[in-house]
Amino acid sequence: MSTCQHCGAPNKPTAKYCSRCGVALSVRAPLPTGALPANLRVGGRYQIIACIGKGGMAAVYQAQDLNLPGRIVAVKEMSNASSGDPTMYRQAVAAFQQEAKLLIALSHPHIVRVSDFIVEGNKYYLVMDFVDGASLEDLLAQRGQAFDEQKVLAWLSQLCDALAYLHSRTPPIIFRDLKPSNIMVDRSGSIMLIDFGIARRFDPMQSRDTTALGTAGYAPPEQHGKGQTDARSDIYALGVTAHRLLTGYDPSSTPFQLPPVQRLNPSISVTTAELITYCVQNDIASRPQRMADVQRVVTNQLGRIPAGAMLPSGPAVQQSTRPTTRFVQAIAQLSSKQLVIGIGALVAVMVFGILLLGPWLRTNFPFLWYEIPAFLIVGPIAYAAARRIGAAFVAQSATTMIVWCVIWLRFDMWPSPSMFSEFLLGLLLSALVYEFSFYWLDKQTAWSSSGALWKREVMWYGTTTDIAAFCFFMAWNSRNLFSLLLWIGAFALGAGGWFIGDSVRQEVLRRAGSTHP
């Protein structure tokens, strides 16, 4: 079968003139991969617009579907670089045909949809939906620095969903080449998994893969001839991909030995860093066993709400039992102007309230002034918002020092050196209680997806604040310990601090999730 270079119509191999337009059919060597000219028709239906990408295995063109006016598609052309080696060429053709068979049978919002497979002039073409966007590798290069954690987690949530779908097929499909260059992000921010060239169906009767394929740094040890790949192999590649996006580190420079995430990017949360470390274990048995396990942690890190609510595809509102999520979803309906006015008014009320009402409260309501440790609310707010090591300790110790120094200055009642030492001891003890207690809670609940988890957090934050208050006043001013109002107030401050901090975190996640990459 020969194709007319003028109109794209298929003709018999022996034909000298095109049966459609009558133009003489020239005999020429096949064009190099990636060199198809504009306006050439592939399969008589897809008119080439331009080449938009080229690699060692294939080239991709943007094309117009002439049968469906207005429909733009991507045409993937198999490379003919291996045509000189019959064995390699057969393997390349088999891989290309396998990709077509796999993708035509799949239907998932985060997997590119294939609609046609064409063999023409000893060339192989795959027609798929055109993704108007860029790969994560290109976005990373354009940005010049690592992405923020919330954005990466939102992408990971979508990737987990797509990979879990592949692994749930019968038999399971193992992607085997997950990396930033094979992940597209469209203009709405939605992830699209592309390039299934080396994907394979899992066969439990095999002890190892027949061919070692993959990308250096992203492929796990078992993919290099050391065993059979399964769902955990994709989990390894997902961990490496997350590491790359969060740090910018090139994994091919030290395959199987990635430096710790937090060493390269200290801003990454402990749970996310530990998840990546868990995923990239060289021993396949030491990794998470199912993609659903990884997705559960990612969802928890996105605010412990249904993953779909945090995807970058748009600010879709979904119901959640978490009160801070509902609160953020409610304030999200306000305009930016209303939000700014509301926040400004709240800050003004707090500042002037402290300046004007402080002395009055101390004189007229001493039990509120002396027995409600309002400064202890900062630690719960800081940790609930950041969920990072050091957040509670630094915020609480700094705030306690500033608040009490202002009080001593305002009322001219500086403590003696011995009392100041006791004050410092109480300050450190209370801040450490916050740090260790909140961190331990996060460690215990990292793998939980219970809808009622927020209730446990509220109780934990309230009780921890009671313990922090006990440590602070025991070291410095033990007479307050006998006040019931102290314990009630401290518990309320802890619970309220959790609500404020978690609301801030939910709003940051919401904005990160709806922002174009």
List the catalytic residues.
177
Residue 191: helix, strand or coil by DSSP? Answer: strand
Helix H segments across 323-390? Answer: 323-331, 336-364, 366-371, 378-386
Rounded-to-integer distance, Cα 103 and Cα 113, Å: 7
Q: What angle do CA 473, 393, 346 make, to 5 degrees?
A: 85
Return the closest-CA partner of residue 296 out of 284, 323, 278, 317: 278
Residue 59: other Cβ atoms inside 10 A:
19
Sign of the CA dihedral 497, 500, 504, 507? Answer: positive
Residue 492 tokens, joined: 């309320």
H/E run at residue 486: helix 484-514
First to last CA, the chain: 45
β-bridge partners, 78: 58
DSSP code of residue 25 = -
b/e per residue 122-153 (b: at least 16 CB within 10 A): ebbbbbbbbbebbbbbebbeeeeebbbbbbbb
Amino acid identity for residue 114 in this structure: V
User: Strand pairing of 200-201 and 191-193?
Assistant: unpaired
Residue 180 tokens, joined: 């930033």
